[in-house]
Amino acid sequence: MAITGSGCLRATILDVYDTTQLAVDLDLETHKSALFTDTIAPDFDADTAYGAAPYNANEVTSGGAEWPAGGVALTGTTYTGVAGGICKFDATDVSVAGTTLTAAMGDLIYADVLAGDNGIMLIDFVAAVTTVAGLFEILWHADGIWRNTIIA
């Protein structure tokens, strides 16, 4: 059991494009970022949502309003087309002061506005992060949180 990589949750992506027509709007400001320890065992093919296994245990919180259970809202979210048939999902860097977090290893981004809290993607921090009454930041890559090629 361990987080060994980053990726999109396939079940959610498929439900967007199949007959389910799941309404995931990547531009919404209601997506959340929830932290988890390295004791979860993600399955990018089968995992579905925040609150469902393995995202129903081992969540890392600050114990207060700084980083509550369920995570913090992502702001500045965008899904845009860039040159070469590539689409990019991005958001404003996350910066929360006064956190006390223990061994945060992964970040689940999920669609909090949907009844199912559908998971969008899990980001592996590679090394566990701990803060004590300090600043916790997630600095997204200049190329976005994720990019996908739409044309072959």
* pTM, to two decimals: 0.95
The count of other CB atoms within 10 Å of the CB of residue 87 is 15
Residue 99 burial (C-beta neighbours within 10 Å; 0-12, 13-18, 19+): buried
Query: Strand pairing partners for 148?
Result: 87
Ranges of H-type helices in the chain: 10-17
* Domain positions in the chain: 7-149
pLDDT at 83: 87
Ranges of H-type helices in 89-141: none
pLDDT band at 63 (very low <50, low <70, confident <90, very high): confident
The count of other CB atoms within 10 Å of the CB of residue 116 is 15
State the greatest distance between any 2 C-alpha atoms of the chain, in Å, as a whole number. Answer: 48
CA dist 23 and 19 (Å) reads: 11
List, for residues 87-103, the tens digit of each pLDDT value: 999 999 999 999 999 99
List, for residues 7-41, the tens digit of each pLDDT value: 999 999 999 999 999 999 999 999 999 999 999 99
